[in-house]
Structure 1
Amino acid sequence: MSATSGAVWGRAEQQDFRSRVRGTLLGGAVGDALGGPADALSLEEIRSAYGPEGLLDLAFGHGRRGTVTHHTQLTLFTVDGLIRAQVRRDTGAWHPPTDLHRAYLRWAATQRDWGPDERRKDDGWLAREEWLYARREPSRALLIGLGDETMGTLEQPKNPTELGPEAAARSAPFGLLVGWDPQLVVQLAVECAAQTHGHPIANLSAGAYAVIVHALARGESLDGAVQRALALLAVRPGHQPVSDALQHALGAVRQGMPTPARVEELAGDGTADGLLAASVYCALVGEDVRHGLCLAVNQSGPSAAAGALTGGLLGALHGETALPPAWLAELEGRPTVLELADDFAMEMTQGPALHGPAGSSPAWLTRYPRA
């Protein structure tokens, strides 16, 4: 069913899609929250702090349990940018990377400002959520990439040597464009990743992750989704490290019981391709969502990114009801995540009823201004 062609969605299709959207966004956020307190710790330090089995429950970070990092903040602004891009199609001025860049600049303002600026009427509702005005260890690449209004492109990317996983960790929402051709999903994710992460390993990892989520959101298996990503990567220059990492993850599944050592080996030195491989592996071998997330965060690399990536995959695969309810109950910003998820699902399935030639909803255009 195409979310962008104006085709009619059945009620069951809409409900399944909304569950997967909620699952993807909540899963990524809860994985981020789980891994955040361990982000700067080695595996030995994690075990010393949380016990011999490592981190098995939400822990304190930023003053309470369940707080998220910049990965979730940026993922939410990715969703906001995608909704705004859909709304702007009515104007004929449609260039999604620009709309995403504007959304990321709204996130960058939350890292500088004390709180929302009511004078900026075109910011929309998400930028007025006060809890987002918190600096949660954003990487230097993010702050530099979004430090001015110049938009990085594939031809002139920001941070062309940056290999980190941050761009991939915000890219699950691109995969929720289920009515898009998979090649376009990859292209949009890669272009938007280049706004902060210009190295092919980083931006192709973002594209691969997005298209894996895309296949899962359309009901495919995780193994099949990875195979689809490999096929789409194969035609892109510089793909080999990312393709090799995904193949490595698939091969590791057949090597016996999952262990932290195997996750660490896949994650390597914490670059985007390694974190992508580790998250795919943890999602494939996890007995359930909780087990998969705990596997992902108990390693010496960037635990928050690993948790966010794994949670997005598991949420897209299983939907929101598979997520651990006790963790969701403590998740920072859960009402905002749910509200944004439901807005995204409504825009993608019923956009023409909200804005279009037949008329527009003033309330919707206040939430997601066209300007």
Structure 2
Amino acid sequence: MGATAGAVWGRAEQQDFRSRVRGTLLGVAVGDALGAPLDGLALAEIRAAHGHEGLVGLGSGCGRRGAITHLTQLALFSLDGLVRAQVRRDTGAWHPPTDVHRAYLRWAATQRDWGPDERRQDDGWLAREEWLYARRSPPRSCLLGLGDDTMGTLDAPKNPGEQGPEAAARSAPFGLLVGWEPQLVLQLAVECAAQTHGHPTAYLAAGAYAVVVHALARGESLDGAVQRALALLAPRPGQQPVADALQRALGAVRQGMPTAERIEELAGDGTAEDVLAVAVYCALVGEDVRHGLRLAVNHGGPSAAAGALTGGLLGALHGETALPPAWLAELEGRPTMLVLADDFAIEMTQGAALHGPSGSSPGWLARYPRA
């Protein structure tokens, strides 16, 4: 795609971008929902419950089929924070990590409060979605990292020993900034990951993942996208474990038919770089989106995170129409996701008409307040 900030978007480009934004966000969510019922189960337990093929469709959790977890919740707030950053750019307050951090604090409030507080008008529309106030097993790293107003930075990261995949799983939206240079996408994702996951492998895995999504959203191949991420990682201190994991994923593709055992080997201890390797591998070897997602979740590792990461890759690569319609029909929160994805696409392609020197849309600023 290669569009840059301020570029004029043709209709076909806008439609393609909208499909990839929708596909990425819905892909994260449907992968998360598919894998969530399997989290914590060993491969033998999965096969005992679902047969040798494992779980092949959305299961039940939290009282319904297609329930999402905190991974999708935070991905939604990532996207919301990016829209708010664009809107606030008009004021000269241009620091996207701060706006994303504020969005994450709004998510943290959903984990404490019973429901939306209508007195907080500056929260915007997403924080008033009542279904998001369900607490879906948020990890201690996220609750601690967002437990006060202090923002973690690369110089002073929150939870410096945390190596989990949660920050990476919420980082697909950064890759949708297709007008940005890839190294800036990497930097933004890394800085936002350090707000909760301060170990270098965790925040660099998040950055690498965002770069891969970014390349896919611009129409590049998955293999080429991974090579781009490896090149950008190379000068970063602490990047070797992430680079090695990505190389293992590429090497595993040449080892024959995919198996759950091979995926478990890639998943290792379930750290961020290993789960990223699972996602890249499953997206590369999957015959289609459905097959890739099934591979990603049916193993003894962190199934929801692996599914979310894989879904984001496949959605960015193929767009919304490649996702399984039957799974989308049962996906919790799908209407909200579609509205948010479309708002993001509009902001990125037509933001100047919504707010800027020539005037502002009161309705848009009510949805995404500048304060």
RMSD: 0.8
Between stretches 79-88 and 42-51, larger displacement belongs to 42-51
Partner of 2:148: 148
Percent pairwise identity: 83
Residues 72-112 of structure 1, C-alpha deviations (whole Å, 9 max, x = no match): 00000000000000000000011100000000000000000
SS for the counterpart of 2:356 is coil
- Please give the alpha-carbon distance, in whole angstroms, between the structure 2 residues aligned to 1:55 and 1:115: 33
Partner of 1:249: 249
Partner of 1:223: 223
> C-alpha displacement at 1:52, in angstroms?
2.2
SS for the counterpart of 2:237 is coil
Give the aligned residue type for 1:216. L
Instruction: Tell me if the contact between 2:293 and 2:311 (Cα under 8 Å) persists in the aligned partners.
Output: yes
Q: TM-score, structure 2 length as denominator?
A: 0.99
- Please give the alpha-carbon distance, in whole angstroms, between the structure 1 residues aligned to 2:114 and 2:101: 21
Query: What does 1:72-83 align with in structure 2 at a 5 Å threshold?
Result: 72-83=72-83
> C-alpha displacement at 1:318, in angstroms?
0.2
Instruction: Tell me if the contact between 2:263 and 2:299 (Cα under 8 Å) persists in the aligned partners.
Output: yes
Partner of 1:48: 48
SS for the counterpart of 2:284 is helix
SS for the counterpart of 1:155 is coil
> C-alpha displacement at 1:2, in angstroms?
6.4
Query: What does 1:111-150 align with in structure 2 at a 5 Å threshold?
Result: 111-150=111-150
Instruction: Tell me if the contact between 2:5 and 2:180 (Cα under 8 Å) persists in the aligned partners.
Output: no
> C-alpha displacement at 1:351, in angstroms?
0.4
Partner of 2:272: 272
Partner of 2:34: 34
Give the aligned residue type for 1:23. G
Return structure 1 stretches of 4+ with deviation > 4 angstroms: 1-4
Matched, 1:368 2:340: no
Partner of 2:337: 337
- Please give the alpha-carbon distance, in whole angstroms, between the structure 1 residues aligned to 2:84 and 2:4: 14
Give the aligned residue type for 1:324. P
Partner of 1:25: 25
> C-alpha displacement at 1:53, in angstroms?
1.4
> C-alpha displacement at 1:50, in angstroms?
1.6
> C-alpha displacement at 1:4, in angstroms?
5.7
Give the aligned residue type for 2:124. G
Partner of 1:195: 195
Query: What does 1:262-341 align with in structure 2 at a 5 Å threshold?
Result: 262-341=262-341
Residues 109-136 of structure 1, C-alpha deviations (whole Å, 9 max, x = no match): 0000000000000000000000000110
> C-alpha displacement at 1:47, in angstroms?
1.2
Q: Which runs of 5+ in 2 are unaligned?
A: none
Give the aligned residue type for 2:180. W
Instruction: Tell me if the contact between 1:37 and 1:60 (Cα under 8 Å) persists in the aligned partners.
Output: yes
Q: Which runs of 5+ in 1 are unaligned?
A: none
- Please give the alpha-carbon distance, in whole angstroms, between the structure 2 residues aligned to 1:5 and 1:302: 37
Q: TM-score, structure 1 length as denominator?
A: 0.99
Instruction: Tell me if the contact between 1:3 and 1:177 (Cα under 8 Å) persists in the aligned partners.
Output: no
Instruction: Tell me if the contact between 1:165 and 1:270 (Cα under 8 Å) persists in the aligned partners.
Output: yes
- Please give the alpha-carbon distance, in whole angstroms, between the structure 2 residues aligned to 1:43 and 1:365: 48
Give the aligned residue type for 2:309. L
- Please give the alpha-carbon distance, in whole angstroms, between the structure 1 residues aligned to 2:177 and 2:369: 20
- Please give the alpha-carbon distance, in whole angstroms, between the structure 2 residues aligned to 1:4 and 1:192: 22
- Please give the alpha-carbon distance, in whole angstroms, between the structure 2 residues aligned to 1:5 and 1:24: 21
> C-alpha displacement at 1:3, in angstroms?
5.7
SS for the counterpart of 1:254 is helix
- Please give the alpha-carbon distance, in whole angstroms, between the structure 2 residues aligned to 1:252 and 1:368: 44
Query: What does 1:174-185 align with in structure 2 at a 5 Å threshold?
Result: 174-185=174-185
- Please give the alpha-carbon distance, in whole angstroms, between the structure 2 residues aligned to 1:59 and 1:265: 25
Instruction: Tell me if the contact between 1:4 and 1:348 (Cα under 8 Å) persists in the aligned partners.
Output: no
Matched, 1:94 2:97: no
- Please give the alpha-carbon distance, in whole angstroms, between the structure 1 residues aligned to 2:4 and 2:81: 16
SS for the counterpart of 1:237 is coil
- Please give the alpha-carbon distance, in whole angstroms, between the structure 2 residues aligned to 1:89 and 1:269: 41
- Please give the alpha-carbon distance, in whole angstroms, between the structure 1 residues aligned to 2:103 and 2:131: 17
Between stretches 39-48 and 274-283, larger displacement belongs to 39-48
Residues 203-234 of structure 1, C-alpha deviations (whole Å, 9 max, x = no match): 00000000000000000000000000000000
CA distance 1:3–1:131, shift in 2 (3 Å)? farther
